[in-house]
Structure 1
Amino acid sequence: FYSKDMILEVVMISNINLFSFFLYFFSTGLTVSYSFRLVFYSMTGDLNCGSLNMLNDESWVMLRGMMGLLVMSIIGGSMLNWLIFPIPYMICLPLYMKLLTLFVCIFGGLFGYLISLTTLYSLNKSLFGYNLSVFLGSMWFMPYISTYGMIFYPLSYGQIVVKSFDQGWSEYFGGQHLYQKLVNYSQTLFLMHNNNLKIYLMLFVFWVLILFNFLLFI
């Protein structure tokens, strides 16, 4: 957070209004918050995400890139500051303003941790009495005596008939399979009809080759 410290200290010595001052520090706190949430979800706990991919960064393909980013993130801000600005900044602030950036980072990380502990759902209290409400709202035992008791066996037999006949061997040997076979044969005949000249010339070449071989061996 070298660059954030520098930016916030420059903001504190600048002549800006209170609202802009608040937005700078609030955005910094949110940045620390989601950075801490990323660390919390990716590096702590057994399984904090639903991905099936292995989270592994031990290969040199990852390490080489991270080493370059590490060096530039540590010394890049100071190098740019030394190279771009001809005169170094002299920042003189009281202790409470110096510690304000640290407190913003700490409270931002704490806020991100508290957000990470929250759940994404809420328990509906009305579901505790769901079975009782279903029992009281279903005319007591009348559905089991009238509707469910009368329609259960016909529906079971209908399922057997659909599984055995409509979607079984009769469907395979019946109209749907016959229709599919006719479609395939029609497509084959259509392909042969569109390429009849090619087929004729190919058969003519085969006939010439066979005749040549026959004359050669005679």
Structure 2
Amino acid sequence: LEIVMISNVNMFSFFLYFFSTGLTVCYSFRLVYYSMTGDLNCGSLNMLNDEGWIMLRGMMGLLIMSIIGGSMLNWLIFPVPPMICLPLVMKMLTLFVCIVGGLFGYMISLTKLYTLNKSLIFYGSTNFLGSMWFMPFMSTYGIIFYPLNLGQIVSKSFDQGWSEYFGGQHLYQKLVGYSQILFMMHNNNLKIYLLLFVFWILILFNFLLFL
């Protein structure tokens, strides 16, 4: 931001730089507020740690090389480091934007989700003024209504009607249902057959004991 201050940019670009910085601080504070504060937000569900040295060695190498590489590129591309000379107000402007963005994000986080939407009070006028006045009712809605209505009738009559009921998918579901019923009957008959076999063995065993 200080480089932007000493650069030859117009007021709109200057405003966009500082506004984007404020919004960045704003959503950073909102992220911290929703993830780190409140009930049950201070700990993770899965206790993850960074003790895998296979990953840490590569990350440390990338960290060192990125810092050294960035410094070397800065020294090679820019032969003379820029001299930043700004008044106190301009120097404090960056800090002021960060503080205001953080406070704004915190205040947005404190708003309730069930606050009343003021546009719902005047819903008719809001809908009329927010829909390019009478244009959607004259052009888009009037043209698209009849094809959509015809498509709904066709969908109900053919796609979800008797053809679908007697079609392949419904026939497949019926066959699966009948197969499950037959399988259940066969299982039950096999159980009954085995149970009768056990009873027959018990009856024979009783005859052998009492004869």
TM-score normalised by structure 2 residue count: 0.46
TM-score normalised by structure 1 residue count: 0.44
